[in-house]
Structure 1
Amino acid sequence: MNNKNALLIIDMQQEDSFVLENFDTTVAHTAALLETARRQRVPVIYTRHINQADGSDLPRGEPRAADGGPSSYRAGTRQVEIIERLAPRPDEWVLDKGRYSAFHRTDLDARLKALGVDTLIVSGVLTDVCVLSSVFDAFALGYHIRLVSDACATTTLAGHYSALLILANWVYSLEILNCVQCLRALEDRDYLSMTPEHPDVFAHQPHEFESTIARLQAHLVRTQE
């Protein structure tokens, strides 16, 4: 893999107000990505979602606690810290953000460009919120994206697959691959990934949702062979 890559680990924090499907697997796969990225000297960037403790920076409609502050990701609490298994090293960059996208009101784009990065390897949570928003913004800014499907999680498998399908339909610079294949890519070995063949490749009606997920899974399984 060329040195124009960076690993973006999104919001792998202590916050436990959301029960996430397959979170243990997501952590394990992210740890493997992290270990290999460090060994290959690929830049690592973490994001943390943090809401001001007094609620002054919350967007309209954001849930609030009884004291008017945020009900989750509250600044100054243990919940905003990166989980211990994935703890950043002192020389690794931790980016704090107050909105879903890692690019919104941050200097992420400028820093990546300063490093010469053109490809983002993305993992983290939640697939259908912060991961989705960040990938769309990365695409709009001209990055190539490798989304590691089994190193992402959200509250339901339906939400996870909905996000993957939306991204596969409309992010033309996207590769979707699993952790094993991404590790091969990080080690500059041959690897397999799913690249959307045309816009709206996974178009479907509501009654076709399960069969479309199966179609996506079939594409991803072929990348494991």
Structure 2
Amino acid sequence: MAKALLIIDYTNDFVADKGSLTVGKPAQTLAPEIMRLADQFLSQHDYVIFPTDGHRLNDPFNPETKLYPAHNIIGTTGQKLYGQVGSWFDQHHDDSHVYKFNKNRYSSFQNTNLDNYLRERRIDEVWIAGVCTDICVLHTAISAYNLDYHIVIPQAAVATFSPAGAEWAINHFKNVLGATIR
């Protein structure tokens, strides 16, 4: 069976110093590990997927509008993939094993075709990287668990706003979702 690397929300708004909802330096330091994993997956003919927050400004139907400042507005620089990871995607986006799509909820599975995409390719193992460990990475992992995927969290490829949030999420992945932590 194939496997997929999900690189979640690695965008300017979540990673850049001046991003509207930035994790900042902890997220910026992930780039080399994320690119190493992406290269490894692609070289093994596995899949590299970029579930990316995509919102509309002041959308009254999205609950995040009330919780956070405007971020990842579709078509803005803030929604573009950050730095070297963005360059990696630009170089490989035509590869049939690379896929990027917008999501409008924390979970990459909610309101998207991700589950169908994975099942059509007989993918049963998802590695989840990116930001934020205790928000979108967590909710994606919970959905993956509920859909019976094997979950791997490469700890050097996830980051969030606080060490406490990161620690809680890693324990939850391991102890509640049965994820493998690498």
TM-score range, shorter chain: 0.7 to 0.9
What number of residue pairs does the alignment pair up?
Answer: 169
Give the Å deviation of 1:60. Answer: 6.7
Q: Which range moved further: 111-120 or 22-31?
A: 22-31
Query: Which of 8, 14, 20 does residue 12 from structure 2 map onto?
Result: 14
The alpha-carbon distance between structure 1 residues 142 and 125, as it changes in their structure 2 partners (threshold 3 A), is same
What's the counterpart of residue 169 of structure 1?
175
Aligned pair 1:142/2:148, yes or no? yes
Give the Å deviation of 1:50. Answer: 1.1
Give the Å deviation of 1:167. Answer: 1.8
The 8 Å contact of residues 20 and 156 in structure 1, kept in 2 or not, is answered as no
Greater RCO between the two (CA within 8 Å, min separation 6)? 2
SS in 2 for 1:29: helix
Partner Cα separation in structure 2 for residue 55 and residue 47 of structure 1: 20
Identity %: 28
Partner Cα separation in structure 2 for residue 154 and residue 135 of structure 1: 15
Partner Cα separation in structure 2 for residue 106 and residue 60 of structure 1: 17
Partner Cα separation in structure 2 for residue 60 and residue 26 of structure 1: 25
The 8 Å contact of residues 8 and 131 in structure 2, kept in 1 or not, is answered as yes
The 8 Å contact of residues 51 and 57 in structure 1, kept in 2 or not, is answered as no
The alpha-carbon distance between structure 1 residues 71 and 133, as it changes in their structure 2 partners (threshold 3 A), is same
The 8 Å contact of residues 21 and 153 in structure 1, kept in 2 or not, is answered as no
Aligned pair 1:90/2:93, yes or no? yes
The alpha-carbon distance between structure 1 residues 60 and 6, as it changes in their structure 2 partners (threshold 3 A), is closer
Query: Which of 12, 19, 28 does residue 24 from structure 1 map onto?
Result: 28
Moved over 4 A (4+): none
TM-score (norm 2): 0.86
SS in 2 for 1:8: strand
Give the Å deviation of 1:24. Answer: 2.8
Partner Cα separation in structure 1 for residue 65 and residue 110 of structure 2: 18
The alpha-carbon distance between structure 1 residues 4 and 19, as it changes in their structure 2 partners (threshold 3 A), is closer
What's the counterpart of residue 81 of structure 1?
80
SS in 2 for 1:119: strand
Letter of the 2:54 partner, please give it: I
SS in 2 for 1:124: strand
What's the counterpart of residue 197 of structure 1?
none
Give the Å deviation of 1:61. Answer: 6.1
Query: Which of 135, 143, 164 does residue 158 from structure 1 map onto?
Result: 164
SS in 2 for 1:127: coil
Give ranges in structure 2 of 5+ residues lacking alignment. 14-18
Partner Cα separation in structure 2 for residue 19 and residue 107 of structure 1: 27
Give the Å deviation of 1:79. Answer: 0.4
Letter of the 1:90 partner, please give it: H
Partner Cα separation in structure 1 for residue 93 and residue 161 of structure 2: 31
What's the counterpart of residue 118 of structure 2?
112
